[in-house]
Structure 1
């Protein structure tokens, strides 16, 4: 099965939005929408991997899946945490407040719930915790635990054509939960950090994975049907004279429209990042809208012969996306450390 081209570029754009939001929020006030692009891409890629495993082996192969996810996440964390804690211990003890609880919950994959229980604010720029950005990793780890069961159920129901309704229903539930639990003019951290209220992008990514891979699996089964070992010369000649199968009209329409829809979705996402705010629109429609736009962006980019692929494989952008996990892990602690240490350095070297 094919490799999906252009996803690294999409991740690169999302990373730029997130980093600018964290470090220069006033310049890109809606950069937090980049998280939902990441969620949608992550849900898509993980679900594709699981669906392919089911199609190939008939099982989820959890013995391989679990270590693979752990290797993907933990080595970088095991490097980040001791380095940042050591630098903080040497130069600025203030950033180490409640550091033990932060480290434990990060490694257990539940930092988002720890932050919610502690009444922390993601949107408060005063005294931010050094590992606050790892709430995202917590949601992702929890998704990694439940998504095999979601995909397995979808696979079992594949003959009923109801499979995609499972992630779509979960996405709808998450969107409604965010809408209902959001308190206008209050701190929105609960609905932003909560796995229950911020899983719509992940679930829409799962639905997209099913829509993309199911037709491929059908074609693969058709190609796998054994052909007769011999064929008469007359039948062979007739086969050569037979016209090539035509691409269905709906596929041709989609292939023509997909890159345009992807480009328009990209423009909309950039606009939301530039003018977006942490207001009622964001939590009562904006985040689900950004997730839906992300689905269109992904689908239109990976579509066959999409000219959007040429934009998204731009090397600097694709490189950012390729190393997005490591960059995401390090950018916030380094920003916090530099912000804390810069005044001391200037004071030490000043007149």
Structure 2
């Protein structure tokens, strides 16, 4: 059940590539060239975040919900082990890059690319304590967020997964119906005119959770896209149409469309649905898929490191070139090449020496918690059965 699905990993690679392209605007390139001038208005790479949400909801729920269903009175231990696994995988890397951004602000910021200390200190606190999405609301259109602005989506995910286990335990088999209420509200709402609804959008997350729940039901197999099994050319077409549709739907040309963000969530969920059958329905094995699988395996590290890499690239060329150099579009090639090298190095180092070791340690600790069934209940029982001070004094007398 915990085996990674290659098509889901492929989608992670696509999602992070969307985000990397989206954030080159303003953070890496000072002036777009002809290609970028066409891409930016017609392509919305921010939709990669919603694709991440749909993937995350599916992957987390397909593991967490069955675990809680089998816990038999050990729900707290199961919840604790879940949170330990998540924290050990996410927090060390996130905190490391928050710290490195602060170091860069102080010691590698002659160009001012990383922003000011106070702004980044506030952003760091928001990243550490997972309220980055609410800080984004407070700063949007008013002031700079800081170099760690991508952390807003990590904060939203952590808030969602803090609440999800409680919802699973409380609502049990009614959980799908309970999730449908906020889901339909978000899909219908005109969210992109409401900062709160945009910063707390969880429709893609809930769609992923609902897919995971549905995948345990026999009817899930009725809708398997088996027609793609013997038609490899059709897989390419389906994937290309959906991915291009996702990027095009993210264009601000659709900003007046009431269901703009909701359609993005639905396309993301459809991609996850096709990929969830673990039959390579999205893309057959080929060299290109291996590239996307690498991107998918490093997607978290890439997400954390790409903005520091972009800003460091600007700082490097600011120091190389003469004072008062205007970094127009003729510099885009060297900025892009420098950023690619830094992103690959940063993400690979983080994946190998931070993310993977801490994930393994977290899994071991979570397994230890699971191997001690009912430890919390046992501790609570001992505490309750401990004689009170008054009772002990009366026995002595």
Query: Same fold, TM exceeding 0.5?
Result: yes
Q: Is the 8 A contact 2:192 2:261 kept in 1?
A: no
Structure 1 position 261, deviation (Å): 8.8
Change (3 A) 1:256 1:2: farther
Q: Is the 8 A contact 2:183 2:203 kept in 1?
A: yes
Structure 1 position 129, deviation (Å): 2.3
1:76 aligns with 2:79: no
| Candidates 128, 138, 141, aligned match of 1:107 | 128
- For structure 1, which segment, 64-73 or 280-289, has the greater mean C-alpha deviation from structure 2 after superposition? 280-289
Change (3 A) 1:33 1:175: same
Q: How does 1:134-173 map to 2 (within 5 A)?
A: 134-154=151-171, 156=172, 158=173, 162-173=174-185
Change (3 A) 1:118 1:52: same
Structure 1 position 208, deviation (Å): 0.5
Q: Is the 8 A contact 1:164 1:207 kept in 2?
A: yes
Q: Is the 8 A contact 1:40 1:205 kept in 2?
A: yes
1:199-234 superposed Cα distances (whole Å, 9 cap, x missing partner)? 11001111001001244xxxxxxxxxxxxxxxxxxx
Change (3 A) 1:301 1:92: same
* Alignment-derived partner of residue 64 in structure 2: 50
Q: Is the 8 A contact 2:235 2:282 kept in 1?
A: no
| Candidates 105, 110, 116, aligned match of 2:137 | 116
* Alignment-derived partner of residue 47 in structure 2: 33
1:310 aligns with 2:284: yes
- For structure 1, which segment, 307-316 or 7-16, has the greater mean C-alpha deviation from structure 2 after superposition? 307-316
Q: Is the 8 A contact 1:109 1:141 kept in 2?
A: yes
Structure 1 position 90, deviation (Å): 1.2
- For structure 1, which segment, 93-102 or 11-20, has the greater mean C-alpha deviation from structure 2 after superposition? 93-102
| Candidates 292, 297, 309, aligned match of 1:322 | 297
Change (3 A) 1:283 1:136: farther
| Candidates 125, 133, 157, aligned match of 2:150 | 133
Q: Distance in 2 between matches of 1:56 and 1:304?
A: 24
Structure 1 position 331, deviation (Å): 0.1
* Alignment-derived partner of residue 209 in structure 1: 212
Structure 1 position 272, deviation (Å): 3.7
Q: Distance in 1 between matches of 2:138 and 2:202?
A: 19
1:296 aligns with 2:270: yes
Q: Distance in 2 between matches of 1:275 and 1:182?
A: 13
Q: Distance in 2 between matches of 1:176 and 1:38?
A: 21
Structure 1 position 52, deviation (Å): 2.0
Q: Distance in 2 between matches of 1:251 and 1:78?
A: 41
* Alignment-derived partner of residue 254 in structure 1: 224
Q: Distance in 2 between matches of 1:253 and 1:272?
A: 22
Change (3 A) 1:270 1:6: same
Structure 1 position 87, deviation (Å): 2.0
* Alignment-derived partner of residue 20 in structure 2: 19
Change (3 A) 1:266 1:208: farther
After TM superposition, the score normalised by the length of structure 2 is 0.66
Change (3 A) 1:314 1:285: same
1:96 aligns with 2:71: no
* Alignment-derived partner of residue 269 in structure 1: 243
User: What number of residue pairs does the alignment pair up?
Assistant: 299
Structure 1 position 285, deviation (Å): 1.7
- Structure 2: gaps of 5 or more residues: 26-35, 326-397
- Structure 1: gaps of 5 or more residues: 216-247
Change (3 A) 1:257 1:21: same
